[in-house]
Amino acid sequence: MKFKLKIGAVLLALALLPAAVFLIHAHPAVLIGLLMAGLGVAGTVTFTYSSFQHSGAFGGGFTGGSAVAPTAAQAAQVSAMSALVGFTDTDTTWVFTHNWGLSAAQAAALLPQIIIEVVSQQAGTTAVMPVIGCNVTSNTNLVTFTKTQATYSGCTVSIWLRRAHSIGL
């Protein structure tokens, strides 16, 4: 029985070794996304809102590491939101809830603006850039993302949403 426990401990240590290397060289927000992507190997999208809460200061505040979407009151205080999203090859859909309550005209103008950046891809593979589609017109409080299922397309991306200004709208 002790032998099985030792083997289990060794396997766990080997599984965490790549994460230990990133601890030394990665920004904490990137590290969280990488670790969450690693935990999502079974085909589960990991979605972490990186910032959205208003601190009362100009430009809003930063409160990272939450899987909970902002409320309408919190969302009304900021003009941009960001999130880290980790997904595997087989994941195809996820939702970014911004709760801005955009108008039909803003949705028709394809708002909010979306910026996507690949933060990390699968190590040791021939990584494939994920093909990601965005739907802003189906609901004025969220953006639905779809990804083409492809081998080695799993990765972690940083997504920024920018709200439209209210001048002239």
The per-residue pLDDT for 2 is 52
| The three-state (H, E, C) secondary structure of 65-106, written as one string | CECCCCCHHHHCCCCEEEEEEEECCCCCEEEEECCCCCCHHH
CA pair distance 96, 159, nearest whole angstrom = 9
Which pLDDT tens digit goes with each residue over 134-162? 999 889 999 999 999 888 888 999 999 99
pTM exceeds 0.85 for this model: no
Which pLDDT tens digit goes with each residue over 67-86? 888 888 888 888 888 999 99
CA pair distance 136, 36, nearest whole angstrom = 26
CA pair distance 132, 147, nearest whole angstrom = 4
Which residue ranges make up each domain of the chain? 2-162
CA 64 to chain centre: 12
The per-residue pLDDT for 63 is 56
Under 8 Å between Cβ of 82 and 50: yes
Structure tokens at 106: 């803003």
User: Bridge-partner residues for 84, per DSSP?
Assistant: 48, 158
Under 8 Å between Cβ of 45 and 83: no
The per-residue pLDDT for 22 is 37
List, run by run, the mean pLDDT of 10-residue segments along the chain (169 residues): 47 44 40 39 76 52 70 84 91 93 90 93 76 92 93 90 70
